[in-house]
Structure 1
């Protein structure tokens, strides 16, 4: 990922927190028919491996489970908040007019060798953890054990788990950090007016620009 110094984020704790918050990523691998991508929820175990480990599962019918080039790193992309930025928000537009539109966004790319597994107990543990993670906010969380055991066993036979020990990470917070101070404030005010003061992109932009 192209990441100029203004936008690069290397804080591992922040990257991990962002992955957990986004939770839903794009898994890209190289298979016998070329590049393949799937959109899947993933769990991060930050304490497993030097930079953490991602786990998830795919449908057994998904051709991505037949990835052969395991010596080539898999890529998991976690896309955060994003927004179009109009040059009308820049104070410098009034000064010289030499401004153009852009798109601001947050993204984390993680890389590592992918391995697949079909062990039923390991799959059950992975699915249970994933379910518990996303049911936690519900007043009456659903649990895997709520479903009939025979049905659960049948469902587990239809998926394949994967694990990616993270070997490297790229973080990009492209939020107008390279603009003059007046332009930064214009971007914040513009986002607040157009998208709302509490939307993810507005909050992320305001926090980043006013703390830098």
Structure 2
């Protein structure tokens, strides 16, 4: 039977995930399934525990591990799965725990820093305002329980140069924005894998985090909308 454990956001690879893995007996010769869209420290924690990180693809709507993709890489060496909640989206823990029970896997989840109720409510309200007015970008799906730790849109086009050009233009109009994941973990030098993870790579090419801080005023939000919508003709969706 699997063991489901919630692991708070670790501050380093030697705190949190690797300690839980070791305590559960996961180590040399074992494989641990992890996402590669962000969080290099999760893969590092698996290595620190003596195991091998195995990368699975994400769900495009939540940016969290896709249970079907996890199931596809599980084998006799798989000992655990580490799901990471992303941007305020929750991973599908119900399906991941069921998968763990079927295969006898340890199932861990890594959360995000908690916000106060007031701050969360303001972020959700700001996100609703942006989603109702932005044009030319794909706004995040709300979904049940989305806390909008980050407000991440997709810039349609043909890959990273389009998203990056859009980001530069938005910054030029005085709006702060950032690329949440520049390079997937499986494309970094320390964890390079010759694997095909299309949703992960597409997300890394297209995603852009726009400001949605609880402290923002309505004028701040209007500035974000104006800056982005003024660039709506910059890019054409790829079909």
TM-score (norm 2): 0.24
Q: Which protein has the bigger strand share?
A: 1
TM-score (norm 1): 0.26
